[in-house]
Amino acid sequence: MPTLFDPYSLKSVTLRNRIAVSPMCQYMATDGLVNEWHRTHYAILARGGAGLVTLEATAVSPEGRITPRCLGLWQDKQADSFAPLVETLRQAGTVVGIQLAHAGRKASANVPWEGDDHIPETSPESWQPIAPSAVAFGQNRSRVPHAMTREEIARVKADFVSAAERARDIGIQFLMLHFAHGYLAQNFWSSHSNHRTDNYGGTTENRGRFLLETLDAVRAVWPEHLPLCARIGIIEFDGKDEETLCDSIRLIQKMKEHGLDFVDVSVGFSTPEVSVPWGAAFMVPFAARVRKETGLPVATSWYINDGRQTDALIRNELLDLVMIGRPLLANPFWPYEAARTLHKKHASQVLPPPYGWPLSRYH
């Protein structure tokens, strides 16, 4: 029976424990470049003891940014800005992952604390979002996207590939494709946003085509010995949940055949008309079902913040990793706290020596 603090191996990568830092947008970049904010923020998280630090949603192209403040990997100079950060995190003993993203019809937004809505079209800061169909999300993202041509679909797949190559070349070891949260891939997958009549729309096979083709293209450049993961919105909470779940599980089974190694189970957020049953660990039963029905290892996130509960999720083999987000913003030393209280571990077993040695010596 594994515990939260047993190492976890996937392909050639071994995490020191089963705690993963969930990708969390910082919206602090300019021109997609890593800066002092990111270096400090991620170093604190890595030094707190997590086994995996997943860098936030990083855009594969300029129009794929959620906001003007998102990180990017569409240029070599952006990769250069990531490289020392990756090295710092590795030295702190964590495996470094990254979430590659294209925001689709939710792109060109103000950062959450400045409205979280689309930037007005008249502003020079805004740009034209693209999506499978010219259908707006609604509510705070009501700008109508441009319906992608087949050339644009091919170009975005190529952008995912170039960004994956850059991530590989700077030593990132865990790649997560952002196929959730109402961003571009989810726009293709969901009939809320995909009204296409060509072979990228209509049937579930057609709506899954962009996701599978992007996966194939990335897998071809992402080393076989390194884990390739996707965060997938498997349910919308829009009233058609069992159907969406079954379709999503079939898609994931296909993705497994196409080389996907790990699923981060999440919510679709494809339409504002939903009632999400927010509550402690509410996505765990869905993640466990994906795990059982696909045989792939899984993680999930959302309101998982109690150490004992988290340990139980791993011990009961419902999840393979836990993605912790906001609790780590409140307390980057959450892994140390959990290790101490649950497993009577010494600080030196979780923290880097300059913290672990003194804390282990004088309790």
Instruction: Summarize as ranges the residues that interact with ligand 531 (CB under 6 A).
Output: 25, 57, 66, 181
The residues, ordered by sequence, that sit 6+ positions from 293 with a Cβ below 8 Å of its Cβ are 249, 253
Q: Between 8 and 302, whose beta carbon lies closer to ligand 531? A: 302
Which tokens sit at 202?
């209509």
Q: Between 10 and 109, whose beta carbon lies closer to ligand 531? A: 109
Q: Residue 6: left (phi > 0), alpha (psi -120 to 50), or beta?
A: beta
Q: Considering the complex, what minimum distance in angstroms separates the CB of residue 103 from ligand 531?
A: 8
Q: Between 17 and 214, whose beta carbon lies closer to ligand 531? A: 214
Q: Considering the complex, what minimum distance in angstroms separates the CB of residue 233 from ligand 531?
A: 9
Which residue, 189, 187, 198, 24, is CA-closest to 97? 24
Q: Between 25 and 89, whose beta carbon lies closer to ligand 531? A: 25
Separation CA 23–CA 177 (nearest Å): 11
Among residues 8, 183, 200, 336, which one is catalytic? 183
- Residue 116 is which amino acid? D
Q: Between 17 and 99, whose beta carbon lies closer to ligand 531? A: 99
3-state per-residue secondary structure call for the chain: CCCCCCCEEECCEEECCCEEECCCCCCCCECCECCHHHHHHHHHHHHCCCCEEEEEEEECCHHHCCCCCCEECCCHHHHHHHHHHHHHHHHCCCEEEEEEECCHHHCCECCHHHCCCECCCCCCCCCCCEECCCCCCECCECCCCEECCHHHHHHHHHHHHHHHHHHHHCCCCEEEEEECCCCHHHHHHCCCCCCCCCCCCCCHHHHCHHHHHHHHHHHHHCCCCCCEEEEEEEECCCCCHHHHHHHHHHHHHHHHHCCCCEEEEEECCCCCCCCCCCCCCCCHHHHHHHHHHHCCCEEECCCCCCHHHHHHHHHCCCCCEEEECHHHHHCCCHHHHHHHHHHCCCHHHCCCHHHHHHHHHCC
Q: Considering the complex, what minimum distance in angstroms separates the CB of residue 268 from ligand 531?
A: 11
Q: Considering the complex, what minimum distance in angstroms separates the CB of residue 181 from ligand 531?
A: 4
Q: Considering the complex, what minimum distance in angstroms separates the CB of residue 240 from ligand 531?
A: 21
Q: Considering the complex, what minimum distance in angstroms separates the CB of residue 296 from ligand 531?
A: 20
Phi and psi (nearest 5°) for 360? -75, -25
Q: Considering the complex, what minimum distance in angstroms separates the CB of residue 113 from ligand 531?
A: 11
For residue 27, indicate whether it is catalytic. Answer: no
Q: Between 22 and 244, whose beta carbon lies closer to ligand 531? A: 22
Q: Between 278 and 357, whose beta carbon lies closer to ligand 531? A: 278
Q: Which residues are identified as catalytic?
A: 183
